[in-house]
Structure formats: C-alpha cells, structure tokens
Structure 1
Amino acid sequence: MSLLDRLAATLTPAASDEERRETRLGFEKIAEGQLFAEDILRQHKQIEQLFAQARSASGPAAQAAVTELSLLLNAHAMAEEAVIYPEVSENSGKTHAGMAYEEHVMTKVQLAKLQKLEPGSEEWIEKLDHIESAVQQHIHQEEGSWLPDVIRNAPLEIRQRMSVEYRNYFDRFDRG
C-alpha cells in the first residue's frame, strides 16, 4: 500500500462488510425502476463475482477472470464517466465526481499492472487485494450517496435519458 493510499485510508476509512451490505440494501430499494441504476447495480454485482472468481482460480483461469474483470470494469467506467458522472457533478457535488473519475483512472492503471503479474504469486494476490478494496470502497460511495443523490435530485427526463445513454454507451465497450 502506497503512502497516499495509507493517508487516504486514514482520512476516509474503508467501509466494513456490514456497512457495505446495508448500503447495498438501501441502494437496491432506491434503484428500483431507475434503469441506469439497475444496470449499474447489476454490473457492480458482476464485478464482485469476477473478483471472487479470480481469487479462487489459478493459472490461466485466474488470468482469464482478471481479463474479463478488466473488460467489464473498463466498459462500466467509460459509461459512467460519459453519462453518469456529469450528473453526479450536478446533483451530488463536483468533489464526488472528481473523486469518481480519479478512482477510475487509478483502477485502470492497477488492473494493467495486475495483468502483467504471474497469477497466484504473492505480488499478484497483493495487487488483486488492493484493487478489490479500492473498488469496494468506490462502489460503496456510489451506492451510498452519489447515485442516490442523482436519483433524488435529477429531473425524471434527465434520469430517463441517462438510462438510455448509459446502456447504449456500455454496450459499445462491453466485450466480456
């Protein structure tokens, strides 16, 4: 863990498993009927499953899970960055949107590094753990405040447009 990661963890400690579960339950309720939020929620669950697959696999199967995870995370990030985060900026705060973009960039960099490592090696496991922890915290922030703020504050026509645009944008990049 880098010095910046340790500093960030001190200032904003990672949510516990229980906090993440409670946040997920609340988000599942508020996301209902909001197609963009339902899509994002489904993708978050797929991302979590792919981390588990990578962790439980070995050799080429672990590498295949990481490749699939990278493809999904990149498509998901591209769609959020193009369609969702401008609305997060307007309806949840520019700081939240800025954090979201930055977290996506760092995840992409770390995933590229992970793909160069030997699956199952100590360094690979450490990198996977680091990425998973960062993604878990990012998902917690999105589901806990950023996306609920958009659902509560953005007008219906904006949310409907987001739903269509998000799905279209994601589909352009999803190769998983």
Structure 2
Amino acid sequence: MSLLDKAIAAVTPPVSDDKRAEARAKARAAAEPGDWLSQILDHHEEIDQAFTDTKAATTAEARRNAQKRLGTLLTGHSMAEEAVIYPALAQAGKQGHANTAYTEQVAAKQQMAVLEMMDPMSEHYLDKLGHLEGAVKTHVFQEESDWFVDMKRDAPAEAQAHATARYREESGRYFGGGPSVDGVAPEARSFVSEAAAEGYQKPLA
C-alpha cells in the first residue's frame, strides 16, 4: 500500500454495506423527482456500477474501457458537486463539510491518474482500484447519510431550485442531456479527448 493509499485509508474508514444502504434509502426518501439530490443519487448509483464493471472486466481492453467510463462519471459528477453543491454547503454554514468533500475528491482524482499508468490486469491495479472504491464509497456515505440530507431539509426553496438547475447544467456539460448554456447544447464529453487516440486517458481535472 502506498503512502497516499495509507493516508486515504486513515481518513476514510470502511463503512458496512448495511449502513450505506440505510443512508441511501434515507436520502432517497428525502429527495424529490428530478431535484438536485435525486440527480446526485442517480450518479452515485451509476458510479457504483462502473466500479463493478471495471473489476469484472476480463481483458485489458475491456477494463480500460470500463475505467474510462468510470473516470467520466467521477469527473462529471465531482465537477458538478464542486461547482454547485459544495459552495451551497459552505453558504449554509457547513464550511468544514465542504472542505472535507473537496479534499476527498482531489485524492480520488489523484488515484484515477495513477490507475491510468498501471497494467490493468495486474493485482496491484485491482488493489489500487479497491482502495479508490472504498474511499469513494465512504465519501458518498458522508454525503447521503448527513450532509446532503441536512441541506435538503434546511435550504430554502429558492436555493433548492437553483441547486437543481445548476447541478443539471454542470453535469450536462459532461453527460449530455442538460440544458443549453448561452444557446449551445451540452455535449456528452469523455475526458479522454485527444489523448485517447494515443491510448492514454487524461488525468481527472
């Protein structure tokens, strides 16, 4: 285990599957159809599946493709949270939660960048992927069990509507389907971009 892995493990102790399921059910109960929280929960579920698909891949090509999908989901989701949700947390007096969230997502991006340079079929790769998945799951648990449920309960209606529209807009820049910005429809973007042609996935931004 690398020093970075040890540091991540120290601040992100494992959470049981039962506790994660309970937190997600609690968050789903608080969410409304199409609101910012339901959008985030949908992304969390897609990210869970992307980790499963990456681990289950049986060839190097399939694993790299699954990893790129995972990277796209993590980046689009994290950038939308960082642009919209975490500032809202800070404005609601939860600056500590916002700072923690930013720090954890930076660590996840660093780990994704390391994975890009590793043999995807090696045990070391799977070990690194497992550490990343554990850190992401714990980060998600913090959001679903406490931070976001409190924000959903306490934020005024105007702030809720703003968060819903802005989260959809920001995530739509990566996944497509979001509202147009200045008359330009969002593209479904993989952040592999030009580097993909050379077999290299660009690090998460």
Structure 1 residues 92 and 14: CA distance shift in structure 2, 3 A:
farther
2:14 matched to which residue of 1? 14
Whole-Å Cα distance in 2 between the matches of residues 73 and 136 of structure 1?
12
Structure 1 residues 106 and 5: CA distance shift in structure 2, 3 A:
closer
- CA-CA distance at 1:92 after TM superposition: 5.9
* CA deviation vs aligned residue, 1:54-109 (integer Å, no higher than 9, x gap): 00002111110111110111011110000000111233611110010011111111
Larger Rg computed on CA atoms: 2
Q: Which amino acid aligns with 1:20?
A: R
Structure 1 or 2: more helix by fraction: 1
SS of match in other structure, 2:11: helix
Q: Which amino acid aligns with 1:138?
A: H
Q: Note the 1:42-61 alignment, pairs <5 A.
A: 42-58=42-58, 59-61=60-62
Residues 92, 149 of structure 1: 8 Å contact kept: no
- CA-CA distance at 1:14 after TM superposition: 2.2
Whole-Å Cα distance in 2 between the matches of residues 126 and 95 of structure 1?
30
Whole-Å Cα distance in 1 between the matches of residues 157 and 121 of structure 2?
47
Residues 91, 149 of structure 1: 8 Å contact kept: no
1:5 matched to which residue of 2? 8
Residues 53, 65 of structure 1: 8 Å contact kept: yes
TM-score, normalising length: structure 2:
0.80
Structure 1 residues 112 and 132: CA distance shift in structure 2, 3 A:
same
- Which stretches in structure 2 are left out of the alignment for 5+ residues? 176-188, 191-205
Whole-Å Cα distance in 2 between the matches of residues 161 and 154 of structure 1?
11
Q: Which amino acid aligns with 1:109?
A: Q
**RMSD over equivalenced CA pairs, Å:** 1.4
Residues 44, 140 of structure 2: 8 Å contact kept: yes
Residues 8, 107 of structure 2: 8 Å contact kept: no
Structure 1 residues 92 and 40: CA distance shift in structure 2, 3 A:
farther
* CA deviation vs aligned residue, 1:102-131 (integer Å, no higher than 9, x gap): 111111110011111111201100110010
Comparing both chains, which one has the higher relative contact order based on Cα–Cα distances under 8 Å and sequence gaps of 6 or more? 1
- CA-CA distance at 1:160 after TM superposition: 0.4
Q: Which amino acid aligns with 2:71?
A: S
Any runs of at least 4 consecutive aligned residues in structure 1 with deviations exceeding 6 A, and if so which? none
Structure 1 residues 6 and 65: CA distance shift in structure 2, 3 A:
closer
Q: Note the 1:57-68 alignment, pairs <5 A.
A: 57-58=57-58, 59-68=60-69
Residues 67, 115 of structure 1: 8 Å contact kept: no
Structure 1 residues 132 and 6: CA distance shift in structure 2, 3 A:
closer
Whole-Å Cα distance in 2 between the matches of residues 6 and 125 of structure 1?
16
Whole-Å Cα distance in 1 between the matches of residues 34 and 88 of structure 2?
14
Whole-Å Cα distance in 1 between the matches of residues 169 and 8 of structure 2?
34
Aligned residues: 173
Whole-Å Cα distance in 2 between the matches of residues 5 and 172 of structure 1?
29
2:88 matched to which residue of 1? 87
